[in-house]
């Protein structure tokens, strides 16, 4: 039982979008190619819009992409990373 449970983030849920933010605190992130991209960061000079961790504003913890299960109303966002039937 050494497997850590993945943190489920419902990407189309307003409350999850307020809770889970990019490392700089923006809610304008999107999942892409097994990492994340933030439009607000990308518009800032000298800041890369790509990142690999979401910050949980409730706990302050950073969650790496491999430890996050992204779900949509129709199921997992990336089936190879987010597989399973959890909603």
Return the domain boundaries, the chain: 7-77
Confidence of residue 60 (pLDDT cuts 50, 70, 90): very high
Confidence of residue 82 (pLDDT cuts 50, 70, 90): confident
Mean pLDDT calculated for residue range 43-65? 95
Judged against a pLDDT cut of 90, whether residue 83 lies above it is answered with no
Nearest alpha-carbon partner for 52 in 33, 80, 73: 33
Distances, alpha carbon 34 to alpha carbons 2, 38, 58, 81, 82, in Å: 23, 14, 24, 8, 10
Confidence of residue 2 (pLDDT cuts 50, 70, 90): very low
Lowest mean pLDDT among 20-29, 45-54, 74-83: 74-83
Judged against a pLDDT cut of 70, whether residue 86 lies above it is answered with no
């Amino acid at each position: 039982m050494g497997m850590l449970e993945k943190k489920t983030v419902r990407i189309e849920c307003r409350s999850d979008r307020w809770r889970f933010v990019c490392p700089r605190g923006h809610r304008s992130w999107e999942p892409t190619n097994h990492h994340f991209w933030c439009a607000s960061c990308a518009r800032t000079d000298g800041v890369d819009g790509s990142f690999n961790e979401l910050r949980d504003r409730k706990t302050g913890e950073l969650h790496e992409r491999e430890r996050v299960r992204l779900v949509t109303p129709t199921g997992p966002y990336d089936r190879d990373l987010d597989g399973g039937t959890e909603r």
